């Protein structure tokens, strides 16, 4: 139990505490005549500290903001204040969500699967050179040492492999889009192939 509380306390310090000023300012602007922002912040910290786990929280800033709003609402209910205001769309826009939209996440996942599929079709040394240099970010010298080849071999495989992947992506895009050639043409130009008319 103590270890979990330490994890939650550390998480609060790292993920929540930096947003306290913004939430406090929002509370002051929104409800300064109705609730004490310091009381709301303190109660919000107590609620967060009483959580058994924080694994379900994807956006700590939004979660803290929403917790503070619920605390303020509870305080007003206990005080008998019925006419409390709701947040406007502009106020919610100040709560930043760093997660991509679902459609963009899905498109990125599909594109990643396409690229991984194309990488798997490359010869082993070519694929390994790309993975070491572009994905793991190791130096050309270190990649050459790991694979037991010269730096020139790494450079050649990297260039040829990336060109092959980009050309294949451009060709697939061309087949899928039919009349929409702009994206494919840009990819083809990036790898030095002439545009088709």
Reading the chain (197 residues) residue by residue, the pLDDT tens digits are: 567 788 888 888 888 889 899 888 888 888 777 888 888 999 999 998 898 888 888 899 899 999 998 998 888 888 776 554 566 666 666 666 667 777 888 888 888 888 888 889 999 999 999 888 888 888 989 999 999 999 999 999 989 998 998 898 888 888 877 655 555 555 555 555 444 44
Q: Are residues 47 and 114 in the same domain?
A: no
Verify that 32 and 89 share a domain, yes or no.
Answer: yes
Q: What is the pTM of this model?
A: 0.43
Domain boundary among 76, 93, 110: 93
Domain co-membership, 9 together with 88: yes
Range of the domain at 133: 102-190
User: 138-196: per-residue pLDDT in tens?
Assistant: 898 999 999 999 999 999 998 999 899 889 888 888 887 765 555 555 555 555 544 44
Residue that finishes a domain, picked among 93, 123, 152: 93
Of 73, 93, 113, which residue is a domain's last? 93
Q: Is residue 147 part of a domain?
A: yes
Quick one: 67 and 131 in the same domain? no
Q: What is the CATH number of the domain that holds 170?
A: 1.10.10.10
Q: How many domains does the chain have?
A: 2
Let me know whether 115 and 88 are in one domain. Answer: no
Is the domain of 74 the same as that of 134?
A: no
In a domain, residue 154? The reply is yes
Is position 195 within any domain?
no
- 152-162 pLDDT per residue, tens: 999 999 899 98
Handedness of CA 194, 195, 196, 197 (dihedral sign): negative
**Residue 196 placed within a domain:** no
């Amino acid at each position: 139990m103590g270890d979990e509380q330490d994890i939650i306390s550390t998480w609060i310090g790292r993920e929540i505490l930096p947003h306290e000023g913004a939430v406090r300012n929002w509370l002051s602007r929104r409800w300064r005549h109705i609730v004490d922002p310091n009381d709301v912040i303190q109660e919000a910290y107590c609620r967060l500290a009483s959580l058994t786990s924080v694994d379900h929280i994807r956006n700590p800033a939004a979660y803290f903001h929403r917790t503070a709003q619920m605390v303020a609402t509870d305080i007003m209910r206990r005080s008998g204040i019925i006419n409390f205001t709701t947040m406007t769309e502009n106020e919610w826009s100040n709560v930043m969500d760093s997660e991509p939209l679902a459609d963009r996440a899905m498109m990125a996942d599909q594109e990643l699967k396409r690229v991984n599929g194309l990488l798997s079709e490359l010869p082993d040394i070519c694929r390994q050179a790309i993975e070491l240099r572009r994905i793991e970010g190791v130096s050309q010298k270190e990649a050459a040492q790991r694979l037991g080849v010269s730096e020139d071999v790494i450079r050649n495989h990297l260039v040829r492999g990336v060109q092959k992947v980009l050309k294949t992506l451009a060709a697939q895009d061309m087949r899928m889009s039919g009349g929409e050639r702009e994206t494919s043409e840009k990819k083809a130009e990036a790898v030095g192939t002439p545009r088709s008319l």
